[in-house]
Structure 1
Amino acid sequence: MSSIRAQKDGWEARARIGVVVPHADVGPESEFQAIAPDDVFVHGSRVHFGAMRAGGEMDPKIPHDPVRAFVEPPHIDHAVELLAASPLDAIALGFTSSAYVLGADGEKKLFDRLAQYTRGLPLTGTTAAAVAGFTALDTRRIALVNPPWFDDRLSTLGADYFTEQGFEVVHHGPCGLPSNQKLITPEALSQWIRSTVAEHRPDAVLVAGNGIRAVGVIDALEQELGFAVLTANQVLFWHALHLAGAADAARSITGYGRLFTAEPPGGRA
């Protein structure tokens, strides 16, 4: 009896990462999968976000009430529980602004609450991952480039979050690009960072907001400007891989920043 030569079928996973995203946002899954090695797979779960409409449309500045509501029970709890029922290795929350609004203590309480539904799987979020990334790279002076749909108050809350964690925030603010996910280009984002952030001489910059198109510019900016470049989805994916016990997969990733050569403090959670 002859054997067959089977084609790849998606079951040969080295790691499976689950990600919870706003219902109308494709950014986290798209950028995770762009970075991922061929044998790392991404699985999404969606939660309604009151500041987004069908097709990914948003107001020029998102109100804060829907941001807070996104992480209140029961909807995100159910999404995490359903996602954790799958044979995954880690779960990531693909949302930045809720942690800004909650603050570090509120974010920890959120993680503690969601841990009831994760079936023991490790869980991370964008800002927690960024703290791990900044620490792994031994950076202290940081700049925050926030999406144009964040208002100044939300940006200040983000600066407060990282200041509480012991970092010196040398610059923060919503970037001056169109407040429309589909209109933000790698070229425009790169130019904004060159013209607005580089003069502050940070050790690292975080392009926050999981809905902003950003991972494609990381490598070129690091080579040109000399400081580390982290983005919401890049650092979230890096941290999730390490929490999943897939450090070898993380180390195999090239072209998306020096972060992937670093190990998070404490290793696997």
Structure 2
Amino acid sequence: MGVPGPATRLGILVPSSNSNAETLTAAILAGQPDLGVHYSRFRLPPSLDDAVDLGVLGEAPALLNDAHLQAIAFHGTSGSWTGITRDRGLCAELEAVCGAPATTASVAVVEAVKVLSATRIGLVFPGPHDIAHRIRQEYANHGVDVQTMSVPEASMTNPQIALLGAREIEAMIRPAFGNAVDAVVCVGTNLRSGYLVAGLEQEFGIPVVDSAIATLWHILRIAGVARPIQGWGALLAAN
């Protein structure tokens, strides 16, 4: 008889101001008793222009490594504007520290868009307009054409983003549909857009990639434990 409890241990590095990562992940994996997810927190740098590296993450990766993980993910999207290639370098560093495959939310979104064969997307970003334009430029470097952008008039902090209600989130997402886009991408792991994905996909008939869901989708893949999970959109359903 094997050891009781989850057979697979996944590690997620969560920004200290993020209150969505654990609850959303737990909701999605409620019917997957073989998967255990463990978390370690760190404080984001003060500027959005600052890339997240091992110096920013501090002890968080090593503390997760003590749990002997099968995969690890950085639950943040800063690489979407500071550079996907730089994020892939962070993945390599995390793999060296933890001895397990690694991903980030930014890498996961790009991989998800690729798997969905989406090259023309609508972008939803709850941050500053200038950062949204940098995301558009960075995505273009990876063969993804941002056709429409939906960004709030006023910039919000991470805790403020977490307080947005379902109607406010939906109102932010809807303008991103249009111009024959192949998918809509919601960048920001503290934006609770994941709960609305299935309904919006049913209404508009195209995939919606939520960065928090994409992070879970990709960590399951790199850990070798991917499986279809229903009720959370096309990306997880086709895993």
Contact kept, 8 Å, 2:150 with 2:173, in 1: the verdict is no
- Say whether 1:204 aligns with 2:199: no
Contact kept, 8 Å, 1:238 with 1:260, in 2: the verdict is yes
Out of 71, 82, 85, the residue aligned to residue 90 of structure 1 is 71
Paired residue for 1:245? 224
Contact kept, 8 Å, 1:17 with 1:88, in 2: the verdict is yes
Residues 1:207 and 1:107: Cα distance change in structure 2 (over 3 Å): same
Contact kept, 8 Å, 1:163 with 1:169, in 2: the verdict is yes
Paired residue for 1:188? 168
Q: Partner letter of residue 199 of structure 2?
A: A
Percent sequence identity over matched residues? 27
Q: Secondary structure at the match of 1:143?
A: strand
Contact kept, 8 Å, 1:14 with 1:246, in 2: the verdict is no
- Say whether 1:156 aligns with 2:133: yes
Residues 1:136 and 1:73: Cα distance change in structure 2 (over 3 Å): closer
Residues 1:177 and 1:44: Cα distance change in structure 2 (over 3 Å): farther
CA distance in 2, matches of 1:200, 1:177: 25
CA distance in 2, matches of 1:50, 1:166: 29
CA distance in 1, matches of 2:4, 2:101: 21
TM-score w.r.t. the length of structure 2 is 0.88
Residues 1:104 and 1:258: Cα distance change in structure 2 (over 3 Å): same
TM-score w.r.t. the length of structure 1 is 0.79
Residue by residue over 1:13-54, the C-alpha shift from the partner in whole angstroms, topping out at 9 and shown as x without a partner, is: 143221101123221111111111341222111111244xxx
1:182 Cα shift?
4.2
- Say whether 1:134 aligns with 2:110: no
CA distance in 2, matches of 1:178, 1:188: 14
- Say whether 1:122 aligns with 2:115: no
Q: How does 1:1-269 map to 2 (within 5 A)?
A: 11-36=4-29, 37-39=31-33, 40-51=35-46, 63-65=47-49, 67-68=50-51, 71-76=52-57, 78-97=59-78, 99-119=79-99, 121-147=100-126, 150-176=127-153, 179=156, 180-194=160-174, 196-248=175-227, 251=228, 253-263=229-239
Residue by residue over 1:79-121, the C-alpha shift from the partner in whole angstroms, topping out at 9 and shown as x without a partner, is: 1122122132211110102x034212222222233332022x1
1:177 Cα shift?
7.7
Residues 1:11 and 1:47: Cα distance change in structure 2 (over 3 Å): farther
Q: Partner letter of residue 126 of structure 1?
A: A
Cα root mean square deviation, aligned: 2.1
231-240 vs 30-39, which moves further = 30-39
Q: Partner letter of residue 260 of structure 1?
A: L
Contact kept, 8 Å, 1:100 with 1:154, in 2: the verdict is no
Unaligned runs of 5+ in 1: 1-9, 52-62, 264-269
CA distance in 2, matches of 1:45, 1:79: 5
Q: Partner letter of residue 31 of structure 1?
A: L
Unaligned runs of 5+ in 2: none
Paired residue for 1:57? none
Q: Secondary structure at the match of 2:185?
A: strand
Contact kept, 8 Å, 2:54 with 2:90, in 1: the verdict is no
